Amino acid sequence: MAPDRSVAEEYLRREVIAAALLRRADETGGYVSRDELKAFMLPDGSVERLVDPGGGGIWNPSGYIATLAIVTSPDGPYPDREIEGGLLQYSYQKGPEGGKNLKLRRAMELGLPVIRFNKVGPNAYLPIYPVFVIEDNPISREFTLTVDDVLRSIPVGHELTPMERAYAARVVQQRVHQPAFRARVMLAYGGLCAVCTLKHPKLLDAAHIIEDGQPGGDPVVTNGLSLCKIHHAAYDRQFMGISPDYVVHINTDLLLETDGPMLRHGLQEMHGRALTTPTRRQDRPDPARLEQRFARFQAAN
Ligand SMILES: [Zn+2]
């Protein structure tokens, strides 16, 4: 067993691991596979295991003073729930009294950030970092987590003002929900544009069919489309529509224009093309939502 590092060394090590993880996730559209996490290669060539081989939610590698990473899975044994103030509750891992939870408590005491892996698919984990443990609730057997440095400084239980509440909601939206939506959409579409099949996740967005905040605008895969930047913008500005039968339509005026290759190949030639949809039927775009959105495209044309 390796000797424990100092807290400062351990903090730095976490920063290095997290930076490499986030870079890797950026290449795929937001997730890292479980196989990669079992032996994750760091920039200095060293290899680090980032998940518990036993499948537990809390990963305490030997030589580490405190928990390095936790897994949350919406359908697994370690779900977490959101409470007011942009905070997340994380259940104790079952097992002997204390057990693996002791080192997560240690992360709280030392102020060491942990990596949170959100399971977004059978073999896909979205990394979020830094995540801080700010409270331990032995009665409900839960830890309270925050993804934000500012929220970390607000005492738990403090009644938030409407402005603070709006800030907390926005932080969770940006740091937790939006990345999870993106990762799930990228995963469903295999990292390609549903319109032109451009296969480059760094040039792709997870577009909403019904906009966020509108009724039906939930961050679910069936309300999403994987679109390249140009097709996302064209969709949002009504230059392009997608009918409920999964066919691409280009604005009539745009079809009649003459311009360079981007207009011709990138837009005009997409007219009438069949949308490339996810392999899994349950991930395909919801026709009712497409219809609602398509009506707006038709009205604008
Ligand atoms: Zn495209």
- Tell me, in angstroms, the distance from the centre of ligand 1 to residue 226's CA: 9
Looking at the fold, whether 213 and 291 belong to one and the same domain comes out as yes
Looking at the fold, whether 36 and 158 belong to one and the same domain comes out as yes
- Tell me, in angstroms, the distance from the centre of ligand 1 to residue 192's CA: 8
- Tell me, in angstroms, the distance from the centre of ligand 1 to residue 253's CA: 20
- Tell me, in angstroms, the distance from the centre of ligand 1 to residue 109's CA: 48
- Tell me, in angstroms, the distance from the centre of ligand 1 to residue 124's CA: 24
- Residue pair 267/240 in contact (Cβ under 8 Å)? The answer is yes
User: Does the pLDDT of residue 268 top 80, yes or no?
Assistant: yes
- Tell me, in angstroms, the distance from the centre of ligand 1 to residue 35's CA: 30
The arithmetic mean of pLDDT across residues 200-219, rounded, is: 94
Q: What integer pLDDT is reported at residue 301 of this predicted model?
A: 86
Beta strands in the chain (DSSP E): 32-33, 40-41, 47-48, 58-59, 69-72, 80-83, 87-91, 114-121, 124-137, 142-146, 204-208, 224-228, 240-242, 248-250
DSSP characters for 234-290? Answer: HHHTTSEEE-TTSBEEE-HHHHH----HIIIIIIGGGTTPBP---SSGGGS--HHHH
> Which pLDDT band, with edges at 50, 70 and 90, does 4 fall under?
low
Domain membership of residue 2 (yes or no) is no
Q: What integer pLDDT is reported at residue 79 of this predicted model?
A: 59
- Tell me, in angstroms, the distance from the centre of ligand 1 to residue 199's CA: 9
Per cent of the chain over pLDDT 90 is 72
User: Does the pLDDT of residue 234 top 80, yes or no?
Assistant: yes
> Which pLDDT band, with edges at 50, 70 and 90, does 78 fall under?
low
- Tell me, in angstroms, the distance from the centre of ligand 1 to residue 227's CA: 5
Looking at the fold, whether 122 and 217 belong to one and the same domain comes out as no
The arithmetic mean of pLDDT across residues 165-174, rounded, is: 89
The arithmetic mean of pLDDT across residues 193-202, rounded, is: 97
- Tell me, in angstroms, the distance from the centre of ligand 1 to residue 105's CA: 46
Q: What integer pLDDT is reported at residue 168 of this predicted model?
A: 87
Looking at the fold, whether 42 and 111 belong to one and the same domain comes out as yes
Looking at the fold, whether 175 and 193 belong to one and the same domain comes out as no
Domain with residue 130: its CATH number is: 2.30.280
Looking at the fold, whether 71 and 93 belong to one and the same domain comes out as yes
Q: What integer pLDDT is reported at residue 76 of this predicted model?
A: 63
> Which pLDDT band, with edges at 50, 70 and 90, does 21 fall under?
very high
The arithmetic mean of pLDDT across residues 114-139, rounded, is: 93
User: Does the pLDDT of residue 132 top 80, yes or no?
Assistant: yes
User: Does the pLDDT of residue 82 top 90, yes or no?
Assistant: no
- Tell me, in angstroms, the distance from the centre of ligand 1 to residue 245's CA: 18
**Residue span of the structural domain in which 228 resides:** 189-300
Point out the least confidently predicted range of 30-44, 97-111, 192-206: 97-111
Domain membership of residue 157 (yes or no) is yes
Q: Count CA atoms closer than 13 A to 86's CA, side-chain side.
A: 30
Q: Please report, as a single letter, which amino acid is at residue 155.
A: P
Point out the least confidently predicted range of 10-14, 44-48, 54-58: 54-58
Looking at the fold, whether 138 and 234 belong to one and the same domain comes out as no
Looking at the fold, whether 164 and 210 belong to one and the same domain comes out as no
> Which pLDDT band, with edges at 50, 70 and 90, does 198 fall under?
very high
- Tell me, in angstroms, the distance from the centre of ligand 1 to residue 119's CA: 27
Q: What integer pLDDT is reported at residue 122 of this predicted model?
A: 86
Looking at the fold, whether 146 and 270 belong to one and the same domain comes out as no
- Tell me, in angstroms, the distance from the centre of ligand 1 to residue 205's CA: 10
Q: Give the domain-ending residue among 184, 209, 231.
A: 184
Point out the least confidently predicted range of 118-122, 158-162, 260-264, 268-272: 158-162
Looking at the fold, whether 62 and 100 belong to one and the same domain comes out as yes
Round the average pLDDT of the chain to a whole number and report it.
Answer: 92
Q: What's the rounded Cα separation, in Å, for the pair 82 and 89?
A: 6
Q: Residue for token digits 């409270």?
A: 135
Looking at the fold, whether 20 and 82 belong to one and the same domain comes out as yes
Q: What integer pLDDT is reported at residue 193 of this predicted model?
A: 98
Q: What integer pLDDT is reported at residue 179 of this predicted model?
A: 94
- Tell me, in angstroms, the distance from the centre of ligand 1 to residue 299's CA: 23
- Tell me, in angstroms, the distance from the centre of ligand 1 to residue 129's CA: 30
Q: Give the domain-ending residue among 122, 149, 184.
A: 184
Q: What's the rounded Cα separation, in Å, for the pair 193 and 211?
A: 19
> Which pLDDT band, with edges at 50, 70 and 90, does 3 fall under?
low
User: pTM higher than 0.85 for the full model?
Assistant: yes
Domain membership of residue 1 (yes or no) is no
Looking at the fold, whether 206 and 73 belong to one and the same domain comes out as no
Q: What integer pLDDT is reported at residue 282 of this predicted model?
A: 95
What total of structural domains would you count in the chain? 2
Q: Give the domain-ending residue among 143, 164, 184.
A: 184
Q: What's the rounded Cα separation, in Å, for the pair 299 and 205?
A: 25
